Amino acid sequence: MSTREDRRTPRCEIVPFPSARRLEKVRQTALLLLDATSKPKLDAHYRSKIFGGIENQFLKVGVSQERATAQRLAFEQAVADEMNRIDYEGVRAQPDGGAS
């Protein structure tokens, strides 16, 4: 004889697309933050809005707080890596190697 618990629909698990793999969003964010680095208040505002928004997107669709935070941190790291890559490419592109 089946019980009421046996007839429940199985719980689903939400598997988020890795935010660090959203390459175009990572590039756009890196470029935006590179432009804002000379303006600390604007830089802090952008970081709060963008990174907080990433985490909130995951929370809204039912991802656990731990996973949402992990996705935000992975996205932040991907943006930092992209900023370093862009900065390095810019230095390499200068005729004198960028050293002054």
Three-state DSSP state, 6: helix
Confirm whether 81 is domain-assigned: yes
Tens of pLDDT, residue by residue over 46-64, are 999 999 999 999 999 999 9
Task: In whole angstroms, give the CA distance from residue 62 to residue 14.
Answer: 7
Choose among 25, 39, 1: nearest CA to 74: 25
Confirm whether 74 is domain-assigned: yes
Tens of pLDDT, residue by residue over 82-100, are 999 998 887 666 666 555 4
Q: Cβ(75)–Cβ(20) under 8 Å?
A: yes
* Over residues 67-92, mean pLDDT: 90
Confirm whether 8 is domain-assigned: no
Confirm whether 87 is domain-assigned: yes
Which parts of 1-100 fold into alpha helices (H)?
23-36, 40-60, 65-93
Number of domains in the chain: 1
Give me the domain span that covers residue 37.
19-93
Confirm whether 65 is domain-assigned: yes
